[in-house]
Structure 1
Amino acid sequence: MAIANTTKREFAPTHPGEMLREDFMPDYGLNAASLASALGVSRQTINELLRERRSISPVMALRLSRLFGNSPEFWLKVQHSRDIWESERLYEKELKQIHPLDAA
């Protein structure tokens, strides 16, 4: 039996750029330029991602999964968690105005 998680998360989920910067790049001896080269993207794209100013796209998830040997779903789930958390904060007032419906 699963236990429902009804507690709101106070801290933001980890951004995929932070994961790359803190966990993946040091383990593989990568810097921004070498990561950009390995992925076939610009250094600007990588810098924006590492500074958490860019989201992981499906294509970037495919590139990262190919490079690091994990799944594209891994990267997209990390991004999705962050996006939902940010949207809940940004639209909190509007969302509270929506009342759940009861089934007929």
Structure 2
Amino acid sequence: MAIANTKAMLRQPTHPGEMLREDFLPDYDLSVAKLAELLGVSRQSVNELLRERRSLSPEMALRLGRLFGNSPEFWLNAQRAVDLWNAAQAVKDDVAKIKPLDAA
């Protein structure tokens, strides 16, 4: 028997940039410049991600997954949760007007 996950999350999920900034950088004693160097990307792109001004791309998920020894899916799932929550907040009134279909 499956349990339906129908309750809406009341707070915005954690942005991958916040996860990097608050958990990964301190744990690995990394600066923005060192992280950018290790990932092979610009400091600006890392900084924008850390400041949550940029979404995490699939390419960045691959780089982070390789660097930290976890999966790209870990990073993409975090970004997906943020994107879905933001979209739900933007269109919640319109979505609430949609009547679900009954199975035939």
Per the normalisation by structure 1, the TM-score is 0.94
Q: For residue 3 of structure 1, what is the aligned residue in structure 2?
A: 3
Deviation at 1:86, TM superposition (A): 0.8
Task: Count residues with an aligned counterpart.
Answer: 104
Per the normalisation by structure 2, the TM-score is 0.94
Q: For residue 26 of structure 2, what is the aligned residue in structure 1?
A: 26
Let me know the Cα RMSD of the aligned residues. Answer: 1.0
Structure 1 residues without counterparts, runs of 5 or longer: none
Report the identity percentage.
64
User: Matches of 2:87 and 2:53 in 1, distance apart?
Assistant: 15
Moved over 4 A (4+): none
Structure 2 residues without counterparts, runs of 5 or longer: none
Deviation at 1:78, TM superposition (A): 0.6
2:86 matches 1:86: yes
Which segment drifts farther, 24-33 or 90-99? 90-99
Deviations 1:72-93 (A, max 9, x none): 0000011111111111001112
2:9 matches 1:13: no
Q: For residue 58 of structure 1, what is the aligned residue in structure 2?
A: 58
Which segment drifts farther, 28-37 or 88-97? 88-97
Q: For residue 95 of structure 1, what is the aligned residue in structure 2?
A: 95
